[in-house]
Amino acid sequence: MVSDPHEAPAALAGRRVLEIADEQGAYCGKLFADMGADVVKIERPGGDASRLVPPFWGDEPHPERSLPFLYANTSKRGVTLDLEQASGREIFRRLAARADVVIETLPPRTLDALGLGWDDLHALRPELVLTSITGFGQSGPRAGWRSSDLVANALGGAAMVTGYAEDPPVRLAGSHAHVMASTNAAAATMIALHHAARTGAGQHVDISIQETMVAVTHICGVGKWLDDGIVPRRAGTGLFASVPSGAYRCRDGLAYLMINRPAHWRALAEWVHEETGNEAILSPLFEGPSSQRLEERELLDVWIEDLTSRHTVREVVQQGQRRHLAFTAVQSAEEVIRDPQLAARGFFVEVGTEGADGVRLPGAPYRHARTPWRIRRPAPRVGEHDVEIYCGELGIGEDELDRLRAEGAI
């Protein structure tokens, strides 16, 4: 990779990652690549099927214009390789022998059947970390089941507690089960690398997308239920543990409020009283933790909306925050794109892409003072780095490259 000596250092400079991942694991590789690891995405000849996920830049289906693909594969290099062929597997072994991490999302035992499973890779390079991301994990009676982002949201418990009681369960916009499993996998992989650096021993990281979602939704999980016997279900916009909480109507939209501390309740009750003349809200019966207000939740919501509906969203947020109340705007996507906070921090970044002059993408999820997150290059085109990596780094001659191409191995 080209490096500029004036550039800030990268946290993962020198780390080498191989990725054989569809949309279940592409975000994992992105997290590594945007922090400076050299992530090489290995695709089957012709390109991965995830390149055909809509919507497309310019609306036309094209393997280099899928917007979700362009987002989830930034900063990576890309090669094509057919692991079904012996010559393809041999090249993979040569790449793995120089790698710190292999990320893969193939069905369990697929790599084993190719002679490239955990035992093979561990023998080849003992400190290597192999990270597998699959719907249900590598073991157990459902290891071979089919998954999808929606199925993982269902079995993982998210869908049951998203949206409104009178609607069907629903998932969020995006691919949250895949993205969460990828983030969990990235953290687990870094932990395994930390251990490997100290002991020399790599390990197999076995990520189950379902388990990740059970963990991500655990505020509605087993600990609470075993304690109180209440099975959480969909309940609109308010959080069950915090009273009041939810989206409240204002003159021109919605503002979200959440009260979590006794002092915040008092400040809210005083504000409602000041503006609406409501005396009852000041009752000491409502003071204390949220549980004190649980039974009167709906009544309190009416009283609070009596206040918020007199103001614009902006006024509610500004005046509420001045009183240290957690009021925020419920924003549309267009408002987010113009959001002054994000603008002040320069969040959205422009990435040059072949055939498209600059795609704006969401930026850094965290800001490291010394080793900043940075998109180093746009998502690779199909086989973009075949020559650079196979010839430049593995020393494969041009004749051999032609032969491999003719065989369809790359």
Span interacting with another protein, options 90-98, 109-117, 253-261, 389-397, rule CB under 8 A: 253-261
Sites for another protein among residues 146-165 (CB under 8 A): 146-164
Q: Provide the token pair at 267.
A: 């400040």
Contacts of 16 (CB under 8 A, 6+ apart): 37, 38, 40, 98, 99, 100, 101
Q: What is the DSSP letter of 325?
A: -
Distance CA 376, CA 34 (A): 7
Do 280 and 341 form a contact (C-beta atoms < 8 A)? no
Among 40, 220, 272, 396, binds another protein (CB under 8 A): 220
**C-beta closer to another protein: residue 80 or 147:** 147
**Which one among 102, 106, 116, 207 touches another protein, defined by CB under 8 A?**
207
Q: How far is the CB of 373 from another protein (least distance, A)?
A: 9
Per CB under 8 A, 379 contacts another protein: no
Q: Which residues of 322-346 are buried (b: 16+ CB within 10 A; e: fewer)?
A: eeebbbebeeeeeeeeeeeeeeeee
Per CB under 8 A, the list member of 40, 192, 404, 409 interacting with another protein is: 192
Q: Minimum CB separation from another protein for residue 76, in Å?
A: 16
Write down the least CB distance from residue 323 to another protein, Å. Answer: 9
CB nearer another protein, residue 254 or residue 391: 254
* Minimum CB distance to another protein, residue 118 (Å): 8
Size of the site for another protein (CB under 8 A): 157
CB-based contact 73:30 (threshold 8 Å): yes
Tell me, what DSSP letter sits at residue 56?
Answer: B
Residue 308 contacts another protein per CB under 8 A: no
Q: Which stretch binds another protein (CB under 8 A): 40-48, 105-113, 175-183, 296-304?
A: 175-183
Min CB(396)–another protein separation in Å? 30
User: Is residue 116 part of the contact set for another protein (CB under 8 A)?
Assistant: no
Instruction: Name which of 211 and 400 has its Cβ closer to another protein.
Output: 211
The SS3 of residue 353 is: strand
Hunting for tokens 């422009």 — which residue is that?
350
Contact segment (CB under 8 A) with another protein among 75-83, 87-95, 259-267, 300-308 equals: 259-267
Pairing of strands 326-329, 253-258: antiparallel
Could you say which of 86, 97, 113, 222 contacts another protein (CB under 8 A)?
222
Q: How far is the CB of 83 from another protein (least distance, A)?
A: 22
123 versus 333: smaller Cβ distance to another protein: 333
3-state SS, residue 257? strand
Site string for another protein, 40-79 (x = CB under 8 A): ------------xxxx-x---------xx-xxx-------
- DSSP-assigned beta bridge partners for residue 248: 255
Q: Report if residue 124 touches another protein, rule: CB under 8 A.
A: no
* Cα distances (Å, whole numbers) of residue 189 to 92, 206, 215, 368: 20, 10, 17, 19
Q: 40 in helix, strand or coil?
A: strand
The burial of 84, by beta-carbon neighbours within 10 Å (0-12 exposed, 13-18 middle, 19 or more buried), is given as exposed
